[in-house]
Amino acid sequence: MADTTVDEAVAQVRRYWWIPVLRGVVLLILGLFMVFRPFDTLTAVVWLFGIFVVVDGVLAIVSAFLDRKDAGVLWPTVGGLLTIALGVVLLVWPGPTVQVLFYFVAFWVILLGVIGIVASIVAHSHDNPTWYFPLTLGLVSLLIGLLLVTNPQTSIAVVMLLLGMFTLVGGVVLLVGGFAARSLANRIAAEGPTIIEA
């Protein structure tokens, strides 16, 4: 019974070992683009997301008309049209869209910093011994937000570089894991299940 289970597992690994390898290759290619062409990669990601949003809006409208007996058509249709409009904006103006989102995030981080500093002042005025925690978080957030606003190109490049490095590591891990699994499965198939029992 145990041998049958091992044989099935080995057969599964030998049949599908290439899937993590393929995923690893895709991640490696994406990671290289992120590292060496960060802005082009970011634009491409926004463009693909725009296509997804448009398709999702169309499907929402179609679904609303198919289910018009059970639910109203008006609001789902309006939501679908707004979703399509957002997707079109992403497709037509990917660069400005990225900039708007970037500055939105940057000012949100700055706002968090200001809130943290104000909270620390209030806590200190009430003799709260933990007042320096929100102060530290607020100062760090404020500094990061100001760096994002004053150096947007560098900030985006750094973020894409970090994501690219993470993606490259993930691709290497999948590649090595896929080939290692195939090698182990082949060895077990050649030597029998004794390697597992040992």
d(CA 143, CA 33): 29
Angle at which helices 2-16 and 152-191 cross, to 10°: 140
Amino acid 197: pLDDT: 46
Helices (H), 37-151: 38-66, 74-92, 94-125, 132-150
Which of the residues in the chain have pLDDT under 70?
Answer: 1-4, 67-72, 192-198
Amino acid 172: pLDDT: 94
d(CA 115, CA 134): 9
Amino acid 155: pLDDT: 83
d(CA 181, CA 197): 18
